[in-house]
Structure 1
């Protein structure tokens, strides 16, 4: 009889290895049968994986690792579940662990997730992973799971590029080309949304119509190019003064619509006068004596958006008739 060396397996280790192989063989036979029946739904470019949960051994298509930039020689002989989970993005780790734990407990029919995983070069790849516990003890203890993984990095990059393009197109569609603030369509949509929110939640809401005084004279004497310059500078002054307290859009011509949510009469009038003064002291306009007039009103929850704007417009006309360069409201 040969003496047992340190490299030989003990009887217990041999039995464990045989049992693990049997589990894998049974899984492969069941999978093959499913493929023959055309019932197996998981086909993918990185192949299948098989996890012996009791021994924590993972068997997988080498593509799963080579896609991350590792060579086959760098794959350890025994690959535990943590070999992959330790490479997950910090923002995806907890979600992935929770989803797997829920499935192992039988709370979900399958394990399914998209996650980022770090490649050898330090870059992040997107994987779509789907699997299922296929063998359990009589008491429900999970024994074996199998699944498939896809590298969806390219698809994710296309989605991100599409989102950026969509965002850019929305910005182009909603922005006034000259002044780079909201255009008429955009500020109208914002007004309707704020009116609805104000009605539902019974919040205060103020709007104002602002108009550049004697703008026709500016165009006639200095030309339309200079008139455009004035419009841009006035828009900058209004936006800078309003900050996040309100929003402004170009209503048309030299008129601007300002929306001030969650604001009462006194605070609104003070802020609008600050806007008026900001135009007067704009360092690029102060030598030209550019001023604005404005009319504001408070939202009556029974008003339509047309009635709301008309009321603010009426106060604007009062400001114009009473000498300009002032803010008038109820």
Structure 2
């Protein structure tokens, strides 16, 4: 039996356009099948295959793995899918960013559509996708008609990145936070003071330092034991921190010595704050140790000071207080 052939001359213009569109979609699907066969043997970990978005009709052709990876069965995927099938499942915090990236690409403001995002699975969980696409067809005016791309499941990589961030965060805490008292470490304070000096050089923003040394702390350890001594150190930090402002920084300088950085604070304000700390210490009875006082030095930053010279001056003032009556302030 002879196969019937279509006489294109008998077709109307709308029929011809429809036929051409159907042929284009057939070619795209054949291209997808060809690429999927190639991808099956290509070692791209996490690849979910290619996709093609026909912009004008909002027709999205894609490897079904892009959807089945989200927990949907093949029969649950509509025969015709638009861009919104996937964008409606984007994490709320990622939606605008993905939309902006696509809009920028369509307006020729970027070289490629390239974005990472969280997308919701059928059971409500979120996994990570990486999408990258580029124009494969455009009209005579340069308007994008078809974008083709490839998508990857990068969830495992994102989990590893988050684990690495958490590990780095814990490591930074070990470096920056004194394990016993919860105050910042000496190293952290040195960096903070250096930053304040740089800020002074640019903005002329003054700052001051307070150095505190717990009076007769050796007697606490010798007479009451190191466990009580540790408790005194922790209680001391808690009392001082309650007196400080949010922008101030307290660090353990060594042993029973502590230093406070006061940004945007001149000498008179620093002395006032130091006296508030001294009075607060004199009014709180620490468990088993009674009233614990401190010898305090206060100094502001002078133009030309280095970190070392600024610290030495406040340290010398603190030792003057310690050499005199203790439980006092020298500035």
Distance 1:190 1:117 in 2: 40
Q: What is the match of residue 99 of structure 1?
A: 101
312, 315, 328: which one aligns with 2:314: 312
Report the CA distance shift for 1:193/1:201 in structure 2 as closer, same or farther (over 3 A). same
Q: What is the match of residue 157 of structure 1?
A: 159
SS at match of 1:312: helix
Name which of structure 1's ranges 61-70 and 99-108 shifts more when overlaid on structure 2. 99-108
Report the CA distance shift for 1:313/1:54 in structure 2 as closer, same or farther (over 3 A). same
Distance 1:141 1:107 in 2: 13
Q: What is the match of residue 7 of structure 1?
A: none
Report the CA distance shift for 1:23/1:69 in structure 2 as closer, same or farther (over 3 A). closer
Shift of 1:245: 3.3
Distance 2:26 2:270 in 1: 72
Contact 2:228–2:288 (8 Å) recurs in 1: no
Shift of 1:224: 2.5
Shift of 1:287: 6.0
Shift of 1:317: 2.3
Contact 2:134–2:148 (8 Å) recurs in 1: yes
Any residues of structure 2 matched to 1:163-202 within 5 Å, and which? 163-202=165-204
Contact 2:32–2:62 (8 Å) recurs in 1: no
Q: What is the match of residue 148 of structure 2?
A: 146
Q: CA RMSD in A?
A: 2.7
Q: What is the match of residue 6 of structure 1?
A: none
Contact 2:220–2:229 (8 Å) recurs in 1: yes
SS at match of 1:266: helix
Any residues of structure 2 matched to 1:1-330 within 5 Å, and which? 12=14, 15-16=17-18, 18-22=20-24, 25=27, 45-285=47-287, 288-329=290-331
Contact 2:115–2:130 (8 Å) recurs in 1: yes
Report the CA distance shift for 1:20/1:107 in structure 2 as closer, same or farther (over 3 A). farther
Report the CA distance shift for 1:82/1:272 in structure 2 as closer, same or farther (over 3 A). same
Shift of 1:168: 0.7
Contact 2:285–2:292 (8 Å) recurs in 1: no
Q: What is the match of residue 3 of structure 2?
A: none
Contact 1:43–1:148 (8 Å) recurs in 2: no
Gaps of 5+ in 2: 1-11
Distance 1:278 1:143 in 2: 72
Shift of 1:286: 8.6
Shift of 1:251: 0.8
SS at match of 1:46: strand
- TM-score, normalized by length of structure 1? 0.87
Gaps of 5+ in 1: 1-9
SS at match of 2:53: strand
Aligned residues between the structures: 316
Report the CA distance shift for 1:43/1:187 in structure 2 as closer, same or farther (over 3 A). closer
Q: What is the match of residue 5 of structure 2?
A: none
Q: Deviations over 1:271-330 (max 9, x none)?
A: 22222233233343596221011101010120111111111122212222331112221x
